[in-house]
Structures are given as structure tokens and as C-alpha cells.
Amino acid sequence: MENIQCFRPTKAVIDLQAIRDNVVHLKNMLQPEVQIIAVVKANAYGHGDIEVARTAMEAGATILAVATPDEAVHMREYFPQVGILVLGATPISFVPYAAANDIMLAVFSQEWVEQAAKQNIDRSLKLHIKIDTGMGRIGVSTRDELQQLYDAITAASHMLVDGVFTHFATADEEDTKYFDKQVKMFKDFLQLLPKKPRLVHVANTATSLIKDASLQFDAVRYGISMYGLAPSPYVETILPFPLRPAFSLQTELVYVKKIKAGQSVGYGATYTAEEDCYVGTLPIGYADGMIRKLCGQNVLVDGKFAPIIGRICMDQCMILLPTAYNIGEKVTLIGTQQGVTISIDDWAGKLETINYEVPCIITNRVPRIYSN
Ligand SMILES: *Cc1c(COP(=O)(O)O)cnc(C)c1O
């Protein structure tokens, strides 16, 4: 796909080779028959779903997972052949599309199956039973519920138990007590099924990277580390291979001025210069996802740190420059410049959140540009 034309210099540059490497490295450590489900929900964690999906499949992924039916429709338009799984809940109104377009759906309610069976479908609907083993989000959580759900699906014509799965709440933590409990419950529930479905899958990134290979089952759901980020600080310390972050955020200085000691910058005049200094203006603001809490965060100019000063505006913000620079000077907000790096984890620390959230909050106004 051609990169889109954009005039504003603010852009997220996505390194597709990094994604390729992160998938190939995982593939090399999986048991030979295990499939990789590339998790590309939420616009591929903000990286751009179509290009990430294509790259992940070139590197060895065979199935795409999304969170919502609309994301599945979007994927299907670009990838007519590949397996697509919706991880979240789906309304009954989506059933005819899912059957006609071979979309795999998560299922966890007998009533849903009974409603779905009344829909006008001519091809088999592939269902993945979700078992809630402790995440407390969606899924059947008792043996009876599982039995009844399974029976309802097998009783319906044009419905197939294609998969069974669960999701772990603490796979990225050092303490494995809760995790082990979830594993045991899943294995016990699996025994109740009269026939093993085609795809049993439980592993998220953390599980596939640091847990026993037997938990790979038929497929692993690879999310955060496909993008080059560790699922948690703990997993970061025991990674089986080095990750390559794919996301960087770039812009340029659009204005530079010298201000005198005592002059202020931005709404509320919250920043006042203590001495004469150079201030640069960046064309990025909270409407791009650079929320006001990032005031004080460093950016990189000429390989040097420069802090954001004053309040971040909707479309612009100001930085304190180490010295005078020209308009057009490259500024890196996330990424590496001259060997110096500001990481997504640095932003997550500043924002008191997890790395997952950071690329997701960079809005659609910031074009995603792809490098190979
Ligand atoms: C988002 C999601 C994943 C991917 O999680 P990572 O920690 O990014 O690997 C896997 N499974 C389910 C059900 C999810 O919702």
C-alpha cells in the first residue's frame, strides 16, 4: 500500500520490519504445528491494522483476531481468504454476515446461540466457546453452562464448535498462583467436551513468551510483543528474544523564538522563563492524543532532550530548546534520534498507565506512515 500524502509533518512512523522480526522470533520458539493468531484489534494497537495484518501474515501468522464485528468487516474487505476471529461479544444482527463471510465468533451464552440459530444463514457459523476461568469478563464459568452451550451449538444446524479458549488475568506477573488456577480450570473444562475442537487457544503474548510450551495448544494470540513492547516490566526482564518497537512519533519545529526571562508560555501562562531561552512550537496537541498530562515530558531535538513546557493545546505545544534551531528541525516524540531513545514505556510512566494504552490514544488525525 502506498503511504498517504500528508502535509502536516506530524506522523506516526511504523517500522514493519520490526513487526516482521517480532513475529518471526516468536514463530521460531513455538512448537512446529502451533499457529500464530495476530491480534490486530483497535487498529492494531494504534499501529494501522491492514499493514500490520499483512506484515504479520508474511512473517508467519495465519489467523487475525479483532475485538469487534466492525473490525472484522474491515479486515474481511482486505483479506478475503484468511481466518478472522472476533474476540469480544457480537450482536445477533452480525450473525448472517459472519456466516456468509466465514468470520469466527466468540460465544458464551446459550440464549445467544438459540437466537443465532433462528437467523437466516446458509453457511456454517464457526464458533469459539469462551470459558471464563478467572478473568471475569466474558465466558461461561460453570460446567453446566459449558455443557448447555455446547449442546445448544451442536443441536443447531449450520453451527460448529470450531474452537475453545480462555484469557488469563495475570500471565505477565511473577507470582503464578492465580495463573495456575486458571490453567487447571481450563484443562478440567476441556475434558468435558466430547470432541476436541479444531482450535484450542489460551496463550496471550505473556503466556506464549514465558510459560510452558504445552500452553500453546493449537494457536497463540500474539498482541503486544508483535508491536515490540513487553506485556509487563516483569516479562521485560525475562524476554526470550529482544523485541523491536515498531511505533515512533515524529514531527518538526514549525516556529522558534527567543523569549526573555519573565515571559510566559501557553494557556494559563503556567510556564514562566527563568532566564532568556529558545522556545519551539510543535504541531501536535491533545487532539492528536498528546494529552495534557504529558506536560513536562521530554522530546528529542538533535539527539538532545527538550521538555514540553506550559499547557499542551489542542493542536500544538511548546518545548524548551537547548539552543536555537531552525524551523523544520526534526523532532522525535517517541523513538530514537542519534542513539537516544524516548520509549512508549517512558510515556506510559509519565501517564501512569501501561504501554498498551499509549499507541491506542494517538488519534486518527496522526497519519500512520509505513517503513519497510
Ligand atoms: C487483546 C487480547 C489478546 C492479546 O493480548 P496481549 O497481551 O497483547 O498479547 C489476547 N486475547 C484476548 C482475548 C484479547 O482480548
**Residue among 26, 52, 168, 204 to mutate when testing ligand 1 (max atoms within 8 A of CB):** 204
DSSP 289: T
Q: Cα of 203 to ligand 1 centre, how many Å?
A: 8
Domain ranges of the chain: 16-237, 247-371
Fold of 16-237: TIM Barrel (3.20.20)
Closest alpha carbon to 308 in 363, 271, 262, 357: 271
2 pLDDT higher than 80 = no
d(CA 320, CA 265): 10
pLDDT of residue 263: 98
Q: Cα of 221 to ligand 1 centre, how many Å?
A: 6
Q: Cα of 229 to ligand 1 centre, how many Å?
A: 13
What confidence tens digit (pLDDT) does each residue in 87-108 have? Answer: 999 999 999 999 999 999 999 9
What confidence tens digit (pLDDT) does each residue in 258-277 have? Answer: 999 999 999 999 999 999 99
CB distance 231 to ligand 1 below 6 Å: yes
Torsion of CA 191, 193, 199, 201, to 10 degrees: -50
CA distances for 175 relative to 67, 134, 181, angstroms: 28, 15, 12
Q: Give just the sign of the alpha carbon dihedral 119, 122, 124, 125.
A: negative
What confidence tens digit (pLDDT) does each residue in 320-357 have? Answer: 999 999 999 999 999 999 999 999 999 999 999 999 99
Look up the CATH superfamily of 247-371: Lyase, Ornithine Decarboxylase; Chain A, domain 1 (2.40.37.10)
Q: Is the pTM of this model over 0.85?
A: yes
CB distance 87 to ligand 1 below 6 Å: yes
> Which set of grid coordinates corresponds to residue 340?
537516544
> Which set of grid coordinates corresponds to residue 172?
505477565
126 is catalytic: no
Q: Which atom of ligand 1 is nearest to the CA of 67?
A: 15
